[in-house]
Amino acid sequence: MLPFIRSDLAQFTAYKPHPSSNTAEPVATQFDRLDTNESPDDLPPELKEKLAWTYQQVIETNRYPDGGHEQLKDAIAEYVNESAHLSPSLFTAANISVGNGSDELIRSLLIATCLRGEGSILVANPTFSMYGILAQTLGIEVVTIGRNATNFEIDLKAAQTAISQTQNPPIRVVFVVHPNSPTANPLTAAELAWLRSLPEHILVVIDEAYFEFSQNTLVGELAQRSNWIILRTFSKAFRLAALRVGYCIAHPEAIAILEKVRLPYNLPSFSLAAALVALQNRQLLLSSIVQILSERDKLTAILSQHPALQVTESAANFLYLRLKPNNSYAQEAALQSLHQQLRTSGTLVRLLNGGLRITIGTPEENTRTLERLQAAMANFTS
């Protein structure tokens, strides 16, 4: 360990976003990459051409990007209002902050709330891992609770106990995903009631990374809840994972704080231009969602027929697959073996504690996934 490094960092390992690609062997593009919940479709060629033109004719690479993001924030506010059927003037640029992916916004929120030993965070596992990872790299304590094994509802009793008993520092932020990753379930009525009951000094971050798939949003409630912030991203339905654009919707006062802690030129000019083009062409880009959802439902129906598999209803563009309890094999070892067999046959999925998370791909990819999964399952159940 380098002698000038913070002592608690020694135990961390760097985040590997594609765990399946960590081996010496490169991830070949012939793999079906169903492990990171991206859209299966690239931007259409006409939009790529438009962006290429913007890059050649408009962007001056010697100049810093627009550090205020005003044009993009206006467009985002318009989209937020429209997509939630709200008054077109409800949210404005003053309610929006833009980040280098929503990961940057998560880190900014942590910096703005918990640093200097002022707060801990609460997460219910399994959930998006970045909340905990980013908190730990900042020296922020992460309090974890569990979920109901059947419907994945947060253990609300444990959550309430954690809130009342965590001291020095107390819990200052609760992170939830709506719908959750990896379990794909939206927030339940009981979870919502609990979130609404939290006092004003606890920030509630509702991550709606999969909103375009679920069409279920809580932005309509933001006006009444000064301690809620909603996170969104261009990395999923908008097909821009490569360009790193996320945003949050919040009260102007909270936005002003986020603007204080962010890096001045956090988004490259090209990313800003791409997000704007994506929004201007949202009807075209989001039109592929219908097919993704129908593929998802088809896959769910077929996998539910399998005697050894347990698949729960998904409100997003991925499935969470578990093995039914069985005495003839150890669950975790069986999952690992399934994960490996899928990989060997050409499909990358995400192995998480207790389940496999499978992104919905193109119809061809999904057909291959089914075939490969059924072949791999034959090894357990024969």
Q: Is residue 101 close enough to count as binding ligand PLP by CB under 6 A?
A: yes
Q: Does 366 bind ligand PLP (CB under 6 A)?
A: no
Contact 350, 182 (CB under 8 A): yes
- Phi, psi dihedrals of residue 83, rounded to the nearest 5°: -75, -20
Residue with tokens 């219910």: 124
Residues sharing a CB contact under 8 Å with residue 377, sequence separation 6 or more, in sequence order:
306, 308, 309, 338
Applying CB under 6 A, which part among 98-106, 261-269, 283-291, 343-351 lies near ligand PLP?
Answer: 98-106
Under 8 Å between Cβ of 334 and 323: yes
* Cβ 259 to ligand PLP shortest distance, Å: 18
Residue 248 as a binder of ligand PLP (CB under 6 A): the answer is: no
Query: Which element (helix H / strand E) includes 345?
Result: helix 331-345
Angstrom distance (rounded) from CA 104 to CA 154: 25
- State the DSSP string of 30-61: TSEE-SS---SSPPPHHHHHHHHHHHHHT--T
Does position 154 interact with ligand PLP (CB under 6 A)? The reply is no
Task: Enumerate residues 200-219 that contact ligand PLP by CB under 6 A.
Answer: 207, 209
Q: How far apart are CA 84 and CA 77, in angstroms?
A: 11
Nearer to ligand PLP, 91 or 131 (CB): 131
Q: Shortest distance, CB of residue 381 to ligand PLP, whole angstroms?
A: 31
Q: Could you give the CA distance from residue 17 to residue 350 in angstroms, rounded to a whole number?
A: 10
**Between 163 and 182, how does the x/- string for binding to ligand PLP read (CB under 6 A)?**
--------------x---x-
Q: Is 108 in the site for ligand PLP (CB under 6 A)?
A: no
Based on the shown chain and the rule CB under 6 A, indicate whether residue 185 belongs to the binding site for ligand PLP. no
Q: Check residue 320 for interaction with ligand PLP (CB under 6 A).
A: no
Of 233 and 372, which has the nearer Cβ to ligand PLP? Answer: 233
Cα-based angle 237, 183, 174 (whole degrees, multiple of 5): 90
The smaller minimum CB distance to ligand PLP, of residues 124 and 323, is found at 124
Q: For ligand PLP, which residue has the nearest CB?
A: 101
Are 380 and 329 in contact, with CB atoms under 8 Å apart? yes
Q: Which of the stretches 26-34, 84-92, 95-103, 257-265 binds ligand PLP when contact is defined by CB under 6 A?
A: 95-103
Amino acid at 322: R
Positions 116 through 135 that interact with ligand PLP (CB under 6 A): 128
- Least Å distance, CB 248 to ligand PLP, is 11
Number of residues that bind ligand PLP (CB under 6 A): 14
Element (H, E) at 108: helix 101-113
Q: Is 233 in the site for ligand PLP (CB under 6 A)?
A: yes
Residues that bind ligand PLP (CB under 6 A): 37, 101-103, 128, 177, 181, 207, 209, 233, 235-236, 241, 246
